[in-house]
Each structure stands twice: as C-alpha cells, then as structure tokens.
Amino acid sequence: MPGSPTSRGRAFGQKVGFTMRGLSGGAAIVTGAASGIGQATAIRLSEEGVRVVCADVNGTGAEQTTKSIQGAGGTAIAVEMDVTKSALWKKTLDEALGAYGQVDYLCNIAGIVNTLGPDNVIELDEEHWHWVIDTDLTGTWLGMKTVLPHMLERGRGSVVNISSMAAVRGLLDLTAYSAAKGGVISLTKQAAMQYPTVRINAIAPGTIDTPILGDVDVDFSVNHIIPRLGTAGEVAGMVAYLHSEDAAFLTGLVIPMDGGWSAKT
Ligand SMILES: NC(=O)c1ccc[n+]([C@@H]2O[C@H](COP(=O)([O-])OP(=O)(O)OC[C@H]3O[C@@H](n4cnc5c(N)ncnc54)[C@H](O)[C@@H]3O)[C@@H](O)[C@H]2O)c1
C-alpha cells in the first residue's frame, strides 16, 4: 500500500536525499503502477517533479497510487489498461498527451510470472506460455511501438524496460518468464540501436520484495551477495537515474540490479 514502508524501505512522501538532474517538469507513463516496482517508480518520479500516468490492468490500484501522489502534492492521472492490447496503449498515450502534452519517459514495468500451472518446458501449456510472453515481452514491445514515434518527433525521450536476472541466470521452472525477460534484453538493445535520439535501457533486478513473489516459502536472498531482498524503492531509484540527465550517455545498457548476484560464479 502507498504509505507503507515495507516494500520501498521508506514511507511515501519522505523525500529522497538527492534529486536527479533534468527530470523535473517532464511527463512519464509508468506501467505496473498499481503495485511493487511500478508503484514505487511512479511515486519516485513524482517526487522528482515528473508528472505521471499511472497505468495498470488493476485500475483500482492505479487509482490508489495516483491519489497518494496527488495527496503528497504531485501530479498524476490513472489509466486502466492492459499492456498486451495495442488499442489500450494508444488510449494511454492519448490520455498522457491530453493531460501533459508530452511524454518524456516510458517505464515498461508491468509483468507477471506464471502462477497458474507448471512452468517446466514439457508441462507448460500453450495458454500460459502466451499469457506470460504477451504480458512481459509483447507488452514491452507495444509500449515502445506506441510511444517511440512521439519521442522521435520531439527528438528526445528515455525508455526503461524491466528484464530480470531470470533472463541470464538458470532458474528452475520459470520457462516462459525467463524467455520473455531474455527477449526484453534483446528488444532493448535492438531499439537502442534503431533510435539513437531516444535513450533505451533495461534493468535486470535480482529478487525484489514485492507482491509478485507470492507466498512461496523460499529464501531468494541466498542468490545475492548482499544478504537480503532488494526493495522496490531501490529499483525505482535506478529507473529515475536512467531517465535523468545524469545518465545522458547511457543507452542499450542492461543493469543487473541484483545485490551482487551477477558477480557470483
Ligand atoms: N519482484 C521481483 O523479484 C522482480 C525481479 C525481476 C524482475 N521483476 C519485474 O519487475 C516488474 C514489476 O514487478 P513487481 O515485482 O513490482 O510485481 P507486482 O506484482 O507487485 O507488480 C506488477 C504489476 O503489473 C501489473 N500488470 C500485470 N499484468 C498487466 C497487464 N497485462 N497490463 C498492465 N498491467 C499489468 C499488475 O497489476 C501489477 O500492478 C515485472 O516486470 C517483473 O517481472 C520483478
């Protein structure tokens, strides 16, 4: 919930200790803004002076994040949308342009894991394969396909896509998710090559303490060198940094935000 320090490590409205250059006054679309990393990112960008579109298939949750931002003096609107539907992406862009006249930052954060059935290569069924690939990979592509023309027209913009360490480390029974997140890395590099006037980067988080982890009784922190889970606020801070002028020379980059996991052999 907004206001809870549990998932972000600090309460909403508690100002960050430093700000990122060049973010203030811009406008962002943040998908997955109802929960976890997306919610923390919407809040963090707002704290940086960015006007935010909180987009999520969970419209009530998106509305709650929006109200929290507004309550703290920020500017936000909520859009209920499904990232797998191109028509809803167009509607989201239209609403963003109607409200703010521009989109400077696209945060492709919405995502799912397959919790509805087995996820090994043989037993995974086609329906669940497509559900995860559509949400985690196609949704990211559709976001860029929809918003990049606007950014190219303005000659500026920044995109941050969320991959996962599951894309680059062998994890058991995350077949569709790992494949989708690997695709996000490839897609990020392709897009960065194709559109040099827009910066396009990705983050590959380790295990972050958000509702996506569900009730599974596994200590995922053992993968990290830093012996804990990451927080959504920490990932949100990296999203803000990648969008900022401080990262003006970074594009096509995939940042492992993983408590040191990628340093381990
Ligand atoms: N938490 C982790 O350990 C972790 C690690 C690596 C990567 N990630 C990635 O980070 C991103 C955010 O995940 P989170 O941990 O904050 O999880 P979360 O479950 O807290 O948030 C995911 C959000 O995405 C939204 N969403 C799902 N399907 C959607 C759709 N079709 N259209 C629009 N919105 C949709 C959900 O409603 C939810 O608000 C995901 O892409 C996830 O794969 C998470």
Task: Tell me the average pLDDT across 104-120.
Answer: 94
pLDDT reported for residue 3? 38
What is the band of 110 on the pLDDT scale with cuts at 50, 70, 90?
very high
Active site residue 177: yes
In this structure, the residue with its CA closest to atom 37 of ligand 1 is 58
| Contact present, 79 and 146 (Cβ < 8 Å) | no
Average pLDDT, rounded, for the chain: 93
Fold that domain 27-263 belongs to in CATH = Rossmann fold (3.40.50)
176 Cα: distance to centroid of ligand 1 (angstroms): 15
pLDDT per residue as tens digits for the range 205-264: 999 999 999 988 889 999 999 999 999 999 999 999 999 999 999 999 999 999 999 999
| Contact present, 139 and 147 (Cβ < 8 Å) | no
How far is Cα 164 from Cα 185, in angstroms, rounded to an integer? 9
Of 11-25, 60-74, 218-232, the one with minimum mean pLDDT is: 11-25
Q: What are the φ/ψ torsions at residue 239 (nearest 5 degrees)?
A: -60, -45
pTM for the model? 0.95
How far is Cα 231 from Cα 9, in angstroms, rounded to an integer? 7
Of 68-72, 140-144, 215-219, 240-244, the one with minimum mean pLDDT is: 215-219
Q: What are the φ/ψ torsions at residue 161 (nearest 5 degrees)?
A: -105, 145
253 three-state secondary structure: coil
Q: Which of 208, 221, 235, 261 to mutate to test the pocket of ligand 1 (most atoms within 8 A of CB)?
A: 208
91 Cα: distance to centroid of ligand 1 (angstroms): 21
How far is Cα 94 from Cα 127, in angstroms, rounded to an integer? 31
- Indicate if the pLDDT at residue 98 is higher than 90: yes
pLDDT per residue as tens digits for the range 177-204: 999 999 999 999 999 999 999 999 999 9
Task: Tell me the average pLDDT across 168-172.
Answer: 86
pLDDT reported for residue 215? 85
Where along the chain do its domains lie?
A: 27-263
| Contact present, 52 and 75 (Cβ < 8 Å) | yes
How far is Cα 243 from Cα 106, in angstroms, rounded to an integer? 9
- Indicate if the pLDDT at residue 168 is higher than 50: yes
How far is Cα 164 from Cα 256, in angstroms, rounded to an integer? 8
229 Cα: distance to centroid of ligand 1 (angstroms): 16
pLDDT reported for residue 14? 56
Tell which atom from ligand 1 comes closest to the C-alpha of 229.
3
